[in-house]
Amino acid sequence: MSIGGYIIHTVGTRYQGWGNTQALVDGVCQTGSTGVIVSDGTIGDFYFHGFFPIYIRVDVLFLVAIIEKFVNRILPCRMGEKKVVHYSLQHQEQGETMQFHMPAKLIFGSGEIQHLSQIISENFKGANPVIITDKGIADAGLLARITDLLPHARVFDTIEANPKSDTINSIAATLRQDKPDLIIGLGGGSPLDAGKALALLVTNVGDIEAYEGREKYVQDPLPFLAIPTTCGTGSEVTWVSVITDVNRKFKMSIKGPKLYPAVSIVDPDLIKSLPRSIIASTGLDALTHAVEAYLSKPATLITDTQAVKAVQLILGSIEGAFEDIQNNDSDRDNLMMGSTIAGFAFGNSDVTAVHCISESIGAIYDVPHGVANSIFLPHVLAYNLPACEKKMADLARQSGIDMDADFNTSEQAQAFIQYIKDLSKRLGIPSFSDLNISRDQFKTIAQACFANNSNGSNPRDLDVNDYRKILENALK
């Protein structure tokens, strides 16, 4: 890929992506032999060419961090001169390959939602769009903002907090008759996941339960446009739809590269009216995505870099947004950016035992996903400490957590866990005991956790008994 004055080639490992990748960044130059200097300051434009395009305005320092981690040696060059730079992805075992997918077109910025009609006309036929959302979005007035821009779009606003298979199947039967050509998901993770599932079912036969797993669809799903309205989902940049099978009381993961949104509009202005409780739970949900992506077994250098940046952004902004999201533009923007970058990270790495527990409890007891993740993140971190002490210590240092300068690695890692516990209390996250789940259900919950597809990605192995111990410890 070409970056400013460099052409970079990989050595020692093979990159598997969708098409050729080229990054064009304004204002990046080389002034010596020791590193990359950003000449113009803060904002840069990235355009990645591939099978699908992605366009995103981000902090140039984010790119610099990636380059500094990937490039073993930077060769000196003058502006306008191109040199070849070799790097190896040493995070991977020799001979292993890695994959990184970013096929969605991402449009990020305050006020971007006002260009919705133009975005649709430029990217879709859009003659018969359908909006998938929930009652909360309608009650908050956000749906009206979208329907004012798309007055002819049909609306389905019956999606639950944990979208149910029977709801999805019922809406799909209607949509197959209406024959829409674009599905728009508006809301948090539930409407976005529901929208992906419905995009799949409109073009394929049967019920959603038949598509659990990876790439079970025969026909390509309809194009999907994602508009997140919380600061925690990440679904706007992932290929997964999580739907609760009401018969099994189990959260299914429906996956496939064709389920990526074709376009995502991430407008921080859409979260201005979020209540504090939702800012807390969805913001900590995003933090969980970033932390788990960094600690999971499938993590790579690319996802590590994104995950660390996401943790920094989220921890640096969540309390300010919690206090005054309406007027705190900087923290609101950073929280949304952190959530989106965390989505890139865990979508190409994985989540771990926190999600195994939260998805199990959410399926059985309908506990909101972000709340469950917020409750169990510090407890799973404590369990995983022996397996990833150094990486937790890295997060503590890179996040700027206040701790004694002479702390060793173990103390730094424990300081990170304690910080998450204290943060949860400051944000008013309930305790596990507040959920009133009986101990006699722990075996059932633990079995569902163990059966979760992401159990194997946890950095420390867990069996059913280990999950039961985590649940017991969470009650203390």
> 50-105, pLDDT tens digit by residue?
222 333 333 333 443 443 443 332 223 222 333 332 223 334 454 557 778 888 79
Q: Which residues lie across from 87 on neighbouring strands?
A: 10
- Residue 260: its pLDDT value, please? 95
What tens-digit pLDDT sequence spans the chain (476 residues)?
Answer: 222 222 222 222 222 222 222 332 222 222 222 222 222 222 233 323 222 233 333 333 344 344 344 333 222 322 233 333 222 333 445 455 777 888 879 999 999 999 999 999 999 987 899 999 999 999 999 999 999 999 999 999 999 989 999 999 999 999 999 999 999 999 999 999 999 999 999 999 999 999 999 999 999 999 999 999 999 889 999 999 999 999 999 999 999 999 999 999 999 999 999 999 999 999 999 999 999 999 999 999 999 999 999 999 999 999 999 999 999 999 999 999 999 999 999 999 999 999 999 999 999 998 999 999 999 999 999 999 999 999 999 999 999 998 998 999 999 999 999 999 999 999 999 999 999 999 999 999 999 999 999 999 999 999 999 999 999 999 98
Residues linked to residue 28 through DSSP beta bridges, in sequence order: 38
> Within a 10 A sphere around the Cβ of 124, how many other Cβ atoms?
18
pLDDT for 72 equals: 32
* Angle at alpha carbon of residue 211, lines to 206 and 214, rounded to 5°: 155
Helix (H) or strand (E) holding 15: strand 14-16
Instruction: Write down the pTM of the prediction.
Output: 0.80
Residue 295's pLDDT is 98
Q: Of 466, 454, 89, 91, give the one whose Cα is nearest residue 296.
A: 454
Locate 250 and state its tokens. Answer: 């189990």
- E strands, 323-438, are none
Question: Amino acid identity, residue 306?
Answer: Q
pLDDT of amino acid 19: 26
d(CA 473, CA 297): 24
Residue 36 pLDDT: 28
For CATH 1.20.1090.10, the residue range(s) in the chain are 274-475
H helix and E strand count, the chain: 15, 18
Instruction: Say which CATH topology domain 105-270 has.
Output: Rossmann fold (3.40.50)
H or E element that contains 117? helix 116-123
**Fold for the domain defined by 274-475:** Dehydroquinate synthase-like, alpha domain (1.20.1090)
Grouping H, G, I as helix, E, B as strand and the rest as coil, residue 333 is: helix
pLDDT of residue 91: 45
Residues found in the chain: 476
Where are the CATH 3.40.50.1970 domain residues in the chain? 105-270
Q: Do 355 and 367 form a contact (C-beta atoms < 8 A)? A: no
Distance between CA atoms of 30 and 23, rounded to whole angstroms? 16
pLDDT of residue 476: 85
Beta bridge partners of 154: 130
CA distances (Å), origin 305, targets 100, 283, 325: 13, 19, 27
Alpha-carbon distance of 241 to 455, in angstroms, equals: 18
What pLDDT sits at residue 96?
59
Written as six digits, the tokens of 425 are 């209390």
